[in-house]
Amino acid sequence: MAASRLDKIANIFSRATGLLRTGAVKYEDRPIWYDVYRVFPPKYEPRYNREVDPSIEIKPIFYEEDLVRAQFFEKYGLNPGGMVRDLKTVGVEDDCQRFVNSYNEIKKSNPNWAHSEVFEATTKTIVNRSSSLRDDPTYQDETTDTVRRRGHIRLLTQDSLRSMFDESIARTKNDPKKSS
Amino acid sequence: MSIPAIKLKAKLKPEEQQVVFPERKPTENIVPVRELVAGDETLQNPDYFQVHELFTVKDLFDARVHLGHKIGSMDPHMKPFIFGTRFDTVIFDLDKTAFHLRQALNFAAHIAYRKGVILFVTRSAATMNLVERTALEVGEYAHTKDYDTKILTNSTTFFQGLTRLPDLIILLSTLDTVLAQHKIVADAAKMLIPTIGIVDSNCVPNQVTYPVPGNDDTPCAVELYCKLIKEAIMRGKNRRKLNDSQQSKAVETKE
């Protein structure tokens, strides 16, 4: 079509309208989209130099349960168990979300409990269900050792890293071949 | 050789100083909207192809459409579509996304109904195959490889013959590289071709005719867009087939 190619000026609809109005293009030869655009125009004019309302502020989003989430991550580390996620799966519920859901349930059934009590109770219930959370040093269970030995991934927390570091130092000190 | 003296013009009178624009005639070449709508059944219904029922906001959320990029890479033109930031990650307002997506799907269905040529475009390597497959399934066209600007702006020379350009371009990602916008957005505006585009928080939505704010990187989000666009286009095409067959039957009975 004989349109102006200055794409930064006005929008496609007004430029097409100009052609039709002056008779440069016959009304019968108008583009297919012209009628549809006329009846259902987009909300914002598709113009190159369209400006945005400067008063719009972008606010941070926080939730009440973020406190529980923060404590969970402090205790178990980010992504406990080193889970690998497939981005094609829809609606994933990770350990942290499961923990928060369980926390909310317990809090609902025991409205008089303090935050720390609910958190403790949640820890006990949730840890029994999830194998990736068992590496918590405070959790005493006979099966812990076997699970650790069997599991391919060992949870890396600050404490476990330190203990591994200490172990290796002790080993090199005891072994005279390596130290020399 | 003497220089001829320049005659200074007398000052213009105030009424002469005013620039007089020729009076713009009323749009006599263009049919008024009321007549246009009265003569076309499909334009009378705000949602003739019922595209609003194709998805819910929950579907968008499950497909992670709400996740944008980091706030630092945000384009200021995306501000009206944004709900807030969650630990410096931009989160889209899915109610607004749903509105814009429905508007875009409606437009796509109408273009398909009018037998328009639709071109699917993306440069994202992760979703190229999916987008091409979608175009194939609806019987339309796709261009996912390196884009040459001559394809639209100098098509007659490029294809060595008279070429019909697309009537609608659907961009599943408006970016060419991580930082640059796809050149087809500006080219479509030059050639008076409307565009539907998924714009992420680091894209510029201005030149896209029907921008849909949302995540354009995650495969499951792009899968959802492809599914919805496919359904909308098929509704438009099937409706056209139905109406055509009814018309031909009516003609036969008259004869």
Name which of B180, B211, B216 is nearest B200 in CA terms: B216
Name which of B35, B182, B87, B161 is nearest A59 in CA terms: B87
Closest partner residue to A46 (CB to CB) among B106, B167, B209 is B209
Interchain contact, A3 vs B192, CB within 8 Å: yes
- DSSP 8-state code for residue A78: S
Closest residue on chain B to A38 (Cα): B33
Residue B151, pLDDT > 80, answer: yes
Residue B174 banded pLDDT, cuts 50, 70, 90: very high
- Residues A48 and A97 grouped into a single domain: no
Average pLDDT, chain A: 78
Average pLDDT, chain B: 90
Q: Which residues 6+ apart lie within 8 Å of B15 measured at CB? A: none
Could you report the per-residue pLDDT of B37-90, keeping only the tens digit for each? 888 888 988 899 999 999 999 999 989 999 999 999 999 999 999 999 999 999
For residue B2, the model assigns a pLDDT of: 65
| b/e burial code for range B153-172 (CB count within 10 A of at least 16 → b) | bebeeeeeeeeebbbbbbbb
In a domain, A161, yes or no: no
* Percent of chain A whose predicted confidence (pLDDT) is above 70: 72
Residue B23 banded pLDDT, cuts 50, 70, 90: low
For residue B3, the model assigns a pLDDT of: 66
- Residues A86 and A131 grouped into a single domain: yes
CB contact at 8 A, A109 and A122:
no
- Residues A105 and A125 grouped into a single domain: yes
Three-class DSSP category at A54? coil
Interface of A with B (CB under 8 A): 1, 3, 5-7, 11-12, 15-17, 20-23, 26-27, 31-33, 35-40, 42-44, 46-50, 52-53, 56, 58-61, 87-91
For residue A169, the model assigns a pLDDT of: 85
- Residues A39 and A7 grouped into a single domain: yes
Q: Which residues 6+ apart lie within 8 Å of B153 measured at CB? A: A5, B187, B190, B191
CB contact at 8 A, A119 and A68:
yes
Distance CA A157, CA A180 (A): 31
In a domain, A97, yes or no: yes
Distance CA B142, CA B169 (A): 9
- Residues A77 and A49 grouped into a single domain: no
CA angle B89, B95, B101 (to 5 degrees): 100
- Rounded to 10 deg, the angle between the A66-76 and A115-129 helix axes is 50
- Residues A44 and A89 grouped into a single domain: no
Interchain contact, B107 vs A40, CB within 8 Å: yes
> Tokens at residue B228, please?
């919805």
More confident residue, B108 or A64: B108
Residues of chain B positioned with their CB less than 8 A from the CB of A56: 79-80
Residues of chain A positioned with their CB less than 8 A from the CB of B115: 32
Q: Closest Cα of chain A to B64: distance in Å?
A: 8
Tokens 């495969």 belong to B219
Q: Which of A22-31, A66-75, A124-133, B102-111 has the lowest mean pLDDT?
A: A124-133
For residue A180, the model assigns a pLDDT of: 46
Distance CA B229, CA B80 (A): 24
For residue A157, the model assigns a pLDDT of: 67
- Residues A38 and A73 grouped into a single domain: no
In a domain, A170, yes or no: no
CATH match of B54-246 with 3.40.50.1980: no
Tokens 């098929």 belong to B234
**Domain around A150:** 66-155
- Residues A95 and A18 grouped into a single domain: no
Residues 159 to 198 of B: which have CB under 8 A from any A CB? 167-168, 186-187, 189-194
Could you report the per-residue pLDDT of B103-124, keeping only the tens digit for each? 999 999 999 999 999 999 999 9
* E-state strands within B87-204: 89-92, 118-121, 141-143, 168-171, 195-199
Residue A137, pLDDT > 50, answer: no
Q: Which residues 6+ apart lie within 8 Å of A120 measured at CB? A: none
Could you report the per-residue pLDDT of A143-152, keeping only the tens digit for each? 444 344 333 3
Name which of A39, A33, A21 is nearest B236 in CA terms: A33
ipTM: 0.85
Could you report the per-residue pLDDT of B228-253, keeping only the tens digit for each? 999 999 999 999 999 999 988 888 88
Q: Closest Cα of chain B to A171: distance in Å?
A: 42
Residue B25 banded pLDDT, cuts 50, 70, 90: low
- Residues A40 and A99 grouped into a single domain: no
Three-class DSSP category at B69? strand
What is the DSSP secondary-structure string of A129-179?
H-GGGTT-TT---TTHHHHHHH-SS----HHHHHHHHHHHHHHHHH-HHHH
- Residues A113 and A41 grouped into a single domain: no
- Residues A151 and A116 grouped into a single domain: yes
For residue B93, the model assigns a pLDDT of: 95
Mean pLDDT of B6-29: 64
CB contact at 8 A, B198 and B172:
yes
* Percent of chain A whose predicted confidence (pLDDT) is above 90: 35
Closest residue on chain B to A16 (Cα): B192
For residue A2, the model assigns a pLDDT of: 66
- DSSP 8-state code for residue B67: E
- Residues A3 and A46 grouped into a single domain: yes
CB contact at 8 A, B191 and A3:
yes
For residue A21, the model assigns a pLDDT of: 87
- What domain count does chain A have? 2
